[in-house]
Every structure is written in C-alpha cells, then in structure tokens.
A and B are shown apart, each in its own frame.
Chain A
C-alpha cells in the first residue's frame, strides 16, 4: 500500500505538478497564437519574443517596486508589476501593428506575407529585449517559495517520497485558470467578443453587419499582449527569465496551438497540456538500463524540444486541423 502511495507521490511530484503548471504556461501562450491566427489570419512568429518583451517590462517594474520597498507579502512582487507590463506590451504590439501589419492588411496580403513580416518583428523585438535587459538569466521571484515543502510533507505523511508544491506553480495554475475563464466569458458573452468571433468566422459578412475591423484588430492585439505577458511572467517566475529560452518556447507553443486546432481557443488549452505532459513524461518512459551513472542526464533539457517538433510534424501529417477542428494552415 505504501509503495503505491509512494509511487503516486513520486508521480505527482515529478510529473503531474510540474507538467500542469508548464502546461498552463504553454496554454496561455498558445491562446495568444490562436487568437492572432483566428482573427488576424496569420501565424505570429513574434509571439515568443512578445512574451519576453512583456516579461522584461514586468521585471523592470518589479525592480522599481522592490527598490522603493513595495512587496506583495508572500506572493511575488511581479504580480503587482504585471498590469504595468501588460500595458507597455499592449502599446508595443499596437505600435507594431500600426507600422508593420496594418500595411499588409490594407493590401489584403496573403497570410504567408504577414507571417514573414512577423518573423521580422520577432527579430526586432528579440534584439530590443537583449539590448535592454541583456542575454543573461534573471531571477525575479520573491516572496514565499513553497506552498508545500518536500521535507514537511515527508514528516507529515511518513512516506519515503517527498512532495513539493512551489508557490509559482500554484500561482501559475490559479492565474491561468482565471485568465482562461475571463477570456472565454469575454468571447462568448460580450458584444465585442462576439464581434471578434464573427470577424474570425466570416470576415466579409462581419463587414456587412457593420463590425469595425480596426476595432476588432485592436482588441485582439491587446488580448494577445496580455496573454503573452501573463504566460511569460508565469514561466519566468517558475523557472527564470532568459531571452533565448523565450524564443525557443515558440516551438512548443505552436505545437500546442496546432495540435489543439489553430484558431480554436479550447484546442489551445488542451494542446498546451498535451505537449507539456509529453515533454515531462519522455524522461520517464525510456528504459532504466539506458540511464547513465551519476549526474549525467540521458536527455538534456534541450532535447525536449524534439518532443514538440515530433508532435507538430505528426499532427500536420495525420490531422492538419488538430483535435478540435481548427483552420487548416494555408500559405
């Protein structure tokens, strides 16, 4: 009996909890990608770096608050800085829309042209972030580190295996849940949200109904900036902030969005969790005998991107519309 309990705790500690919080971060990222794809009709390659941009400004505001002595008790100060980070990021993406995307939209360019333009925006954003905050790792989590400590759990339960639950993990899951509920409520119930869905569903008919496309685009960008900043800050709190890591996050995020069915918000969430659990499980399904002695890892963290890549390729080959019947990506 205790063996089973030990195994369950082990599983919870090393797979379920970390994968759930990582999945929530990917889901928020994938929601941003899916919104842009559904409404602006292009794959936004700048999304990972938009996350970095938003996180960077949240870190700046966190430092500012810390320097004047403002803290958030046992919660990270970054949560207080988050709204300001979202504000700056919203202004930034709206500015980018004004100088880059709007031109191609007015010309009714093909989606692939907008996607390539977003690669340009990605490089610009990436350089700006590196220039402003540097390429190093930044740790900006403060407050209480653990909700549940491994040692405390062991003493309480008497089990051999410990269970730890980091504050950042709990926070990620909670904040992501609130954000997702708020987003769905907005899309399903409000006039503007319905107009966004209508525009995504049938652009010409939306215009014939008098829906103002520029307003829809503006709201989409603000939501995207908020989701990107949120995902980036939660990821950064949980792990650490490094511009290059955020650029790499693009792959699992796109894998999640496409797996779920791009353009479909429910799909983005499911996709995020599937990708996260696949990545975390990979290290444990390989045979024990392959495991090297000592501290060396069989699969370094860098290889986890292979998982996302395999998922991406498999979905595009077998079921390009994804689980929830999103739009098929067209060039």
Chain B
C-alpha cells in the first residue's frame, strides 16, 4: 500500500475510499503510529517517522481528526482550540483567528461547551483543533459520518479551503463519489490492498472502479 500525497508544490488532497473492512481505518492508524507497522515506512516531509509515538508525530506536523469523540465535550470551543495548540510555545492567537475565519460559527460560540454544539459544529471544532498545531498534513477519519447532506457539502468546501492554504489532506471517506469528485488523488482499498490509485476524476471515470465499488 502506498499513499503519496502532496507533490512538493502545494498540499494536495488525497482520499482513501473502499468497502467496509477494506482496511481504511487500519491504514490510518498505522500512519498515526497507533499500530505497529510490520514492514514499510511512514515518511513525513521526507523524514522517516515509522518508529515515532503518536505524540511525537503530532509535533512533527501530523494532525488527526478521529471519527468519533473528537472534541473535548466538557470544555469550551476556545479551550478545545487551545488544547490543539498545546505543544506550541509561541503565540497562537493568529492561528485561532484563522480558524475562526474558516469556521465563523466557532467564533460566535467560542465560550460555549463543545459538547453542546450540533454534530456539524462539533466536526468544525474537531477540524479546528487539529489545525491549531499548524500541521503539514491533516488526516481525517470519515469527517462526514452522521452529519446532514447540507452540512457535508459545507464541510467539504471548508476542507478544500484548508487545502488551499498549503496543508496536505488525507481523508478516509464513506461518501466515495462526492469525495473523489474533489480529490486530487484517490486510493481505492479492497481487502487491505491498494487496488486503484489515480486522480479522483480518473477513478470516477474508470469502469472497473465504478462497477466494483461505486455501483455502476
């Protein structure tokens, strides 16, 4: 399996799709260092990080948004963002303003507990928290799971905006068609194998992929 995102020019947007049980989440965990990698390597900006703990990977510039339980429910929106910037010793108010620009609703609700927000707003808090580390790659595990279609569209738009700031994105997604439409690069996993890799458009056009996975 190989996921190469980013082409040294700007971030890039990679999407991993595949049927249930294909190994999408496992691949994500391996990248994060939550599983031991038996063979192969994880590289970030050319640096081998295979042996690093998840925390060290965070300080190397990897950020991750888990699928569930991805906010500190008992803390305010602002505190959630502060915790995202926990490792940073510099002034992070600028980054926080950027997050509020990206997700204006979070600025309005900065004093509210994250656990009291709607599902879509929580996802925004989760993405915002991950962005606070100023990562070079942002990884998301099914960010649109359980949110309404309107919120989903909005979230995809925001993620594209994040990409445009130069942060590479790697996302596991159930809504394959929609995710591939906007992806620079798509990876179709089947039974733990990286079966098709191409641009999102090409994968959508590929009859094999459509037949076996996208339902014709």
Contact = CB atoms under 8 A, between A and B. Distances in A.
Contacts of B98: none
Given A206-B83, A207-B54, A210-B87, A198 B133 contact: no
Contacts of B133: 209-210
18 contacts: A194-B83, A195-B83, A195-B86, A197-B74, A197-B79, A202-B71, A202-B72, A202-B73, A205-B129, A208-B58, A208-B64, A208-B66, A209-B84, A209-B86, A210-B55, A210-B86, A210-B133, A212-B55
A194 B69 contact: no
A191 B83 CA distance: 8
A287 B174 CA distance: 69
A211 B75 contact: no
A266 to B, nearest CB: 12
A205 to B, nearest CB: 6
Contacts of B87: 209-210
Contacts of A202: 69, 71-73
Given A205-B70, A212-B55, 5 more contacts: A195-B86, A197-B72, A198-B75, A206-B72, A209-B58
B191 interface: no
Contacts of A204: 66, 69
B79 A210 contact: no
A137 interface: no
A198 B55 contact: no
B198 interface: no
A191 B84 CA distance: 12
Given A195-B83, A198-B83, A205 B71 contact: yes
B181 interface: no
Interface string B48-78: 0000001100110000101001111111000
A136 interface: no
A144 interface: no
A210 B69 contact: no
Contact of B79 (A194, A207, A208, A211): A194
Interface of B: 54-55, 58-59, 64, 66, 69-75, 79, 82-84, 86-87, 129, 133
A210 B59 CA distance: 7
Contact of A208 (B54, B73, B74, B82): B54
A206 B83 CA distance: 8
A208 B73 CA distance: 15
A244 B32 CA distance: 50
Contacts of A206: 72, 83
Interface of A: 191, 194-195, 197-198, 201-202, 204-212
Contacts of A201: 72-75
A196 B66 CA distance: 20
A14 B54 CA distance: 58
Contacts of B70: 205
Contacts of B59: 210
Contacts of A209: 58, 83-84, 86-87, 129, 133
A194 B75 CA distance: 9
Contacts of A205: 66, 69-72, 129
Nearest to B79: A194
A197 B79 CA distance: 10
Nearest to B70: A205
Across the A-B interface, give the 9 residue pairs with the lowest CB-CB distance, nearest first. Answer: A210-B87, A201-B72, A210-B58, A198-B83, A201-B74, A209-B83, A209-B86, A198-B72, A210-B55
A212 B83 CA distance: 12
A207 B53 CA distance: 10
B64 A211 contact: no
A44 B189 CA distance: 47
Contacts of B83: 194-195, 198, 206, 209, 211
Contacts of A208: 54, 58, 64, 66
Contacts of B86: 191, 195, 198, 209-211
B110 to A, nearest CB: 14
A195 B83 CA distance: 7
B144 to A, nearest CB: 19
B167 to A, nearest CB: 16
Nearest to B32: A208
Contacts of A212: 55
A142 to B, nearest CB: 44
Contacts of B58: 208-210
A279 to B, nearest CB: 31
A211 B133 CA distance: 12
A205 B54 CA distance: 11
Nearest to B53: A207
A207 B64 CA distance: 11
